[in-house]
Chains A and B, each alone.
Chain A
Amino acid sequence: MTVLTAATPTTPTNSLGWMAFLAEKYSASFWQGTWLTLYVAVLGTILGFVMGYIIGIIEDIRTDPEEKGIGRLLVLAAKAVCGVYVELFRGTPMIVQAMIIFYGLRQAGVEIGILAAGVLVTVLNTGAYMSETVRAGINSIDNGQREGALALGMSPMKAMFHVVLPQAFKNIIPEMANMFLTNLKMTSVLNVIGLSELFMTAKTVGANYYKYFESYLIIAVIYFVLCFVFNRLFLLLEKRLEPKKDYVLAVEYMDNQ
């Protein structure tokens, strides 16, 4: 038995010792788990943000009730589809979504890989939450900003991308950071479809020596360090986007007559 042979030379005597032992012995597994967790969280969050922005912008398109054209119908249809999607994905747990999407797709004959399914679930989940955040962010910008842009002759989309969205984006950053940190931890539920991210790794490693407490404590530390580092990065980004407190007077244009 591997258990006996591995444990004979130096059997750890306390939890800390076991943690060090497991971390060293299974470092490759933990690295792999960390990598997969990060991969799914980063890719899923970024694509989810893109999806959230697209839906948030679609939901903000204003249609004139007096207009009877096909354009308005298309917009209303798109809004309805987005509404149903957001409602469904915010109304069900991610762990259930993972099972339904993974096994559902397989049953339908789509040979989706575990990793791809994991990313897909994360994207769909993030997109649903993000769209609400983006919508709220857009709403928080005074309508005068939009009108100022329209009055210059900008199209509603130009007004959105040059004026409204850059301001909304700044307001949304803390929520985006939140969402990413949540995702980093939520990837753990993807162990149910067999993705060997951190949680799955801890489960497997712990089973080898029946040292579950120590094994999960290791990934708790890893999760914490990841979250801590990313949180600091987001704060840095937020700080960088803060407007400068003072400005340089363009003295060359001062009136000195």
Chain B
Amino acid sequence: MEEKIISIVELGKSFGDHEVLRKIDIEVEKGEVICIVGSSGSGKSTLLRCINRLERQSTGKIYYHGKEIGNAQREINEYRSRVGMVFQSFNLFNNMTVLENCMAGTRKVLHISKEEAFDRAISHLKAVGMAPYINAMPSQLSGGQKQRVAIARALCMNPEVLLFDEPTSALDPEMVGEVLNVMKELARTGLTMIIVTHEMGFARDVSTRTIFMDKGYVVEDDAPERLFTNPKNQRTREFLSRFIAG
């Protein structure tokens, strides 16, 4: 049996009277690349934010290696340092250079030495092709460059799982490719990833498992080759037909 890294059990989230997530059950195993697709407002991003505990779930539980993630701040910090996140709007620290962004987590959270933090930062920045820009400020970079730095920053923490919240949605069309290529490369290294995306081609080609969400429910959770070619559910079919037609 494969080891479960994250188990989500009967997760629900409401904002006031509005139920955004309903009874979500997902298990994440090592090495999986899970793409979550669905129309806007289906709850995909909220689910991802709940997994990272940027939102607190209303009901249900999240387990990390079988241990429930409680509400103690220390526990949550520790968990977040193992489960990285890449945001739609990059969220690079505007008061730091590219290099400082990539060393902030390792220095302030993991407390590793300056030399090691530097080496890690450079090696991950090299991998995403951003090493020459270590002295630049985020405001001096293009969207695609920012997102590649954000990915490097997350990787510097040596995360066990990396969450992506629509990483290419804020990018110009010609910059989407450079970010998706970096993510493909990561998938090949065996990193466990959960990706909320609107890039259907990417989901089909790269994911090991695709989840379709609608109105806060997980409607379908299957291998991409089955979900994309032979969806079981009517809603999934409708959703996918729009992409194929478009």
Contacts and interface: CB of A to CB of B under 8 A. Distances in A.
B122 interface: yes
A154 B105 contact: yes
Contact of B89 (A144, A163, A246): A144
Contacts, number: 102
Contact of B54 (A147, A243, A255): A147
A147 B163 CA distance: 13
Interface residues of A, number: 33
A253 B118 CA distance: 13
B81 A153 contact: yes
B54 A151 contact: yes
A66 B58 CA distance: 9
A249 B98 CA distance: 12
Contacts of A115: none
A144 B77 contact: no
A148 B71 contact: no
A149 to B, nearest CB: 7
Interface stretch (B34-42, B127-135, B215-223): B127-135
Nearest to A246: B140
Nearest to A165: B95
Interface in A132-161: 142, 144-145, 147-156, 158
A247 B91 contact: no
A25 interface: no
Contacts of B97: 247
B133 to A, nearest CB: 7
Interface string B103-134: 01100111000000000001001100101111
Nearest to B81: A153
Interface of B: 52, 54, 56, 71, 73-74, 77-82, 84-85, 87, 89-95, 97, 104-105, 108-110, 122, 125-126, 129, 131-137, 139-140, 150, 153-154, 157
